[in-house]
């Protein structure tokens, strides 16, 4: 990737310098520690044991060879064969090997257990954060990338980082113990040992950085692949994909993305392994140089044969310890880069949840919009312009306008899913942004046209309207009655306990109109809310059902505020105030009678629809 810089988000993490990037190591270790302290301690102790013993083994190995030589000499000189010392030493070495094996098993056990717990913990952290985020953040593609990256990679990285940290410790201990023995041969040998590993290490970290850049740069593509998978393979899309024959086309797109990504992957892998081989040769040269030197020392009798085998073994094992240490550091560098995406996501600022106020200065003032304008982030045109309106408690408001005129946006502002760019929205005389979020939520009940269809029980789908009564069967039935859903629910195989959706066993699918009745019942769960908003949730119902539902709705909202968006004028005309929106502006307002008298846009549309019904 050196020849062209891929477009993508800024690479803060990679540019913050080599050591800056280790800043997550401490947090990863803390994370593992709080996840399970006992396992962490066990892991540390076992690591220590597995670190020290290999040097002890080499040392005993040397003693064995010298003891054998000594016993041979004695046997030759005196004819007495004494093997006690040799056998004892062999037994000691066997014991050491058994202990090393045990420690390694223990390490892998601890790691497996920690991995499971840590994966769960990190996923929970990611989801906990997701709950606190704003709608606008989910709609922001750059932010969504962060979320996807965090979810894809970062959940396995903390343990990997900790494993490597311990692995590093283990190999360092081994290396130091080898060095203690090897330095008796020559301090230079120790130096050669360490220096020979450095080139491949430098290369390795460089390539880790590049792999990470690649990973970041391609996250929009990865996201597209994940999306294509859902479109092709999920039940809610299958109908269209099949009937329009979209399958092969989408699959081709999926393949093309892979091909593009694969090319970059292959190039990196080839360079990584190519350089790895070349630089690895330096290590091999160092090893055999030292081999010759040690052999020479044995020939001139500066060291015994036993010592020669020991030094050779120390050098060989020392070299693999050095490369293990260096690759652990390289890996830690990489893990840190990936963890930076996790923490970048976890540290996304969220709107401060300062305890707002729980009541306004004018409790019966209702809702006021004062010169409210709003443009979606990244949009070139304002979705709402200079909106003024006032709704008193006990009144109902109907919004009329073409698709895309801004009706839903108005509701999103009212429910504080977005904040106005200009002007302000008051409830009971207080700006929405000064309200306590919880209080505000409890006061407003909304059903959007794209309401959620949860793959839960029917009853829970209704109960979702009020978390405090999520499981309350009596409340479900009451709400379903008002939402006209009770009839068909009684006919379902397990009534209110029927599983909905196709993802889970025995799930039932509902018709569009039935789903809408469920959604409406959800609105009727909100008996405490004094502002109720229905955004076209009756579009899939027949006119008679819609009229009946609005009757219930009106009864329920007598001293409250009701806001509805509908394309059916038979319903709209019942509202005490009607506003007509066009391109984000209010162009007409008044009661049905007033607007008919005005003879403008509303009157035209009304007459048009009335003619259609004749
Ligand atoms: P209506 O409810 O009247 O059909 P909306 O309020 O949904 O219309 O949309 C008003 C305008 O805002 C449209 O031009 C639409 O394209 C745009 N819009 C709606 N939602 C978003 C969004 N999440 N991000 C950007 N633009 C949006």
pLDDT of residue 9: 38
Question: Could you tell me if the CB of 374 is within 6 A of ligand 1?
Answer: no
- Give the domain CATH number at 95: 1.20.1560.10
The rounded mean pLDDT for the chain is 86
pLDDT of residue 19: 59
Is residue 433 situated within a structural domain? no
Asked whether residue 149 falls in the same domain as residue 289, the answer is yes
pTM for this entry:
0.72
Is residue 261 situated within a structural domain? yes
Is residue 247 situated within a structural domain? yes
Domain end among 481, 507, 528:
528
High-pLDDT (> 90) share of the chain, %: 32
Return the sign of the alpha-carbon dihedral for residues 400, 401, 404, 405. negative
Instruction: Provide mean pLDDT across the span 121-142.
Output: 85
Asked whether residue 329 falls in the same domain as residue 463, the answer is no
Asked whether residue 336 falls in the same domain as residue 480, the answer is no
CA 587 to ligand 1 center in whole angstroms: 18
- The count of structural domains within the chain is 2
Query: What are 425-438's pLDDT values in tens digits?
Result: 999 999 998 998 88
CA dihedral 31→37→41→46, nearest 10 degrees, is: -80
Task: Determine contact, residues 499/508, Cβ cutoff 8 Å.
Answer: yes
Query: What are 21-42's pLDDT values in tens digits?
Result: 567 777 888 888 898 999 999 9
pLDDT of residue 252: 94
Residue 15 pLDDT > 90? no
Query: What are 361-374's pLDDT values in tens digits?
Result: 888 899 999 999 99
CA 385 to ligand 1 center in whole angstroms: 13
Mutate to test the pocket of ligand 1, among 143, 404, 412, 579 (most ligand atoms within 8 A of CB): 404
CA 404 to ligand 1 center in whole angstroms: 5
Q: Which of 133-147, 183-197, 437-451, 536-550 comes out lowest in average pLDDT?
A: 536-550
Question: Could you tell me if the CB of 190 is within 6 A of ligand 1?
Answer: no
Runs of H (alpha helix) within 133-156? 135-139, 141-149
Q: Which of 432-446, 483-497, 547-561 comes out lowest in average pLDDT?
A: 547-561
Is residue 194 situated within a structural domain? yes
CA gap 557, 506 in Å, rounded: 37
Contacts of 422 (CB under 8 A, 6+ apart): 371, 372, 373, 374
Residue nearest atom 25 in ligand 1 by C-alpha distance: 376
Asked whether residue 460 falls in the same domain as residue 339, the answer is no
Mutate to test the pocket of ligand 1, among 135, 372, 376 (most ligand atoms within 8 A of CB): 376
Asked whether residue 340 falls in the same domain as residue 482, the answer is no
Is residue 596 situated within a structural domain? no
Is residue 508 situated within a structural domain? yes
Query: What are 401-419's pLDDT values in tens digits?
Result: 998 999 999 999 998 889 8
Instruction: Provide mean pLDDT across the span 432-454.
Output: 87
Query: What are 145-194's pLDDT values in tens digits?
Result: 788 778 777 667 877 887 888 888 889 889 999 999 889 988 998 888 88
Is residue 583 situated within a structural domain? no
Asked whether residue 342 falls in the same domain as residue 460, the answer is no
Task: Determine contact, residues 396/575, Cβ cutoff 8 Å.
Answer: yes
Burial of 70 (0-12, 13-18, 19+ CB in 10 A): middle
Query: What are 459-516's pLDDT values in tens digits?
Result: 999 999 888 889 889 999 999 998 889 989 999 999 999 999 888 888 888 988 899 8
Mutate to test the pocket of ligand 1, among 135, 378, 383, 446 (most ligand atoms within 8 A of CB): 383
Residue nearest atom 27 in ligand 1 by C-alpha distance: 376
Q: Which of 74-88, 182-196, 255-269, 554-568 comes out lowest in average pLDDT?
A: 554-568
Runs of H (alpha helix) within 424-581? 437-443, 458-463, 473-482, 486-491, 512-525, 543-556, 569-572
Q: Which of 51-60, 123-132, 345-354, 414-423 comes out lowest in average pLDDT?
A: 345-354
pLDDT band at 257 (very low <50, low <70, confident <90, very high): very high
pLDDT of residue 22: 66
**559 alpha-carbon distance from chain centroid:** 44
Both tokens of residue 291? Answer: 């081999």
| Nearest atom of ligand 1 to the alpha carbon of 376 | 25
Question: Could you tell me if the CB of 445 is within 6 A of ligand 1?
Answer: no
- Domain extent, residue 474, equals 453-528
CA dihedral 232→237→243→244, nearest 10 degrees, is: -70
pLDDT band at 11 (very low <50, low <70, confident <90, very high): very low
Question: Could you tell me if the CB of 583 is within 6 A of ligand 1?
Answer: no
Distances (CA, A) of 253 to 149, 249, 263: 21, 6, 16
pLDDT of residue 554: 72
Domain end among 346, 379, 397:
346
Is residue 358 situated within a structural domain? no
Residue 3 pLDDT > 70? no
Domain end among 319, 346, 373:
346
Asked whether residue 110 falls in the same domain as residue 238, the answer is yes
How big is the chain by its Cα radius of gyration, in Å? 36
pLDDT of residue 352: 66
């Amino acid at each position: 990737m050196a020849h062209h810089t891929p477009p993508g988000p800024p690479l803060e993490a990679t540019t913050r310098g080599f050591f800056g990037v280790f800043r997550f190591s401490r947090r990863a270790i803390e994370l593992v520690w709080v996840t399970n302290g006992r396992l962490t301690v066990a892991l540390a102790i076992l690591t220590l044991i597995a670190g020290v013993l290999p040097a002890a083994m080499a040392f005993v190995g040397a003693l064995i060879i010298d003891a054998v030589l000594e016993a041979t000499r004695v046997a030759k000189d005196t004819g007495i064969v004494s093997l006690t010392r040799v056998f004892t030493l062999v037994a000691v070495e066997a014991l050491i090997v058994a202990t090393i094996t045990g420690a390694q098993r223990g390490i892998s056990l601890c790691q497996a257990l920690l991995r499971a717990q840590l994966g769960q913990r990190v996923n929970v952290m990611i989801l906990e954060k997701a709950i606190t985020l704003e709608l606008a953040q989910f709609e922001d593609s750059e932010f969504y990338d962060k979320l996807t990256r965090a979810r894809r990679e970062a959940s396995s990285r903390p343990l990997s980082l900790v494993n490597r940290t311990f692995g590093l410790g283990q190999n360092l201990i081994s290396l130091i113990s080898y060095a203690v023995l090897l330095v008796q041969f020559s301090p230079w040998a120790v130096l050669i040992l360490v220096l020979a590993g450095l080139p491949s290490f430098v290369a390795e970290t460089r390539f880790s950085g590049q792999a990470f850049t690649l990973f970041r740069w391609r996250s929009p593509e990865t996201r597209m692949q994940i999306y294509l998978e859902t479109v092709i393979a999920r039940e809610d899309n299958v109908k269209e994909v099949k009937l329009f024959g979209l399958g092969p086309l989408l699959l081709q797109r999926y393949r093309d993305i892979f091909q593009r990504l694969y090319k970059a992957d292959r190039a990196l892998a080839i360079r990584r392994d190519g350089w790895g081989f070349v630089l690895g040769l330096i290590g091999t040269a160092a090893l055999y140089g030292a081999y010759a030197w040690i052999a020479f020392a044995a020939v001139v009798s500066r060291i015994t044969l036993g010592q020669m085998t020991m030094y050779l073994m120390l050098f060989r094992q020392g070299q693999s310890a050095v490369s293990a240490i260096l690759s652990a550091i390289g890996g830690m560098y990489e893990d840190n880069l990936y963890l930076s995406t996790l923490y970048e996501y976890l540290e996304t600022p969220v709107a401060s949840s300062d305890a707002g106020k729980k009541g306004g200065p004018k409790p019966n003032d209702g809702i006021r919009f004062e010169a409210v304008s709003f443009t979606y982030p990244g949009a070139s045109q304002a979705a709402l312009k200079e909106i003024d309106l006032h709704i008193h408690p006990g009144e109902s408001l109907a919004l009329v306008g073409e698709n895309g005129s801004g009706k839903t946006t108005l509701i999103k502002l009212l429910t504080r899913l977005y904040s106005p760019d200009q002007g302000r929205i008051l409830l009971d005389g207080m700006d929405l942004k000064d309200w306590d979020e919880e209080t505000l939520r409890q006061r407003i009940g909304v059903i959007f046209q794209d309401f959620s269809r949860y793959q839960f029980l029917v009853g829970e789908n209704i109960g979702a309207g009020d978390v405090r009564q999520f499981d309350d069967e009596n409340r479900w039935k009451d709400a379903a009655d008002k939402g006209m859903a009770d009839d068909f629910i009684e006919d379902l195989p397990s009534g209110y306990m029927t599983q909905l959706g196709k993802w889970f066993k025995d799930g039932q699918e509902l018709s569009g109109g039935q789903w809408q009745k469920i959604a409406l019942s959800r609105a009727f769960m909100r008996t405490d809310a004094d502002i109720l908003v229905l955004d076209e949730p009756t579009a899939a119902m027949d006119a008679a059902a819609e009229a009946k539902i609005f009757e219930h709705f009106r009864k329920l909202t007598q001293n409250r505020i009701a806001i509805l968006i509908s394309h059916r004028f038979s319903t709209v005309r019942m509202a005490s105030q009607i506003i007509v929106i066009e391109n984000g502006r209010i162009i007409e307002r008044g009661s049905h009678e007033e607007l008919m008298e005005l003879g403008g846009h509303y009157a035209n549309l009304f007459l048009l629809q009335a003619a259609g019904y004749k």
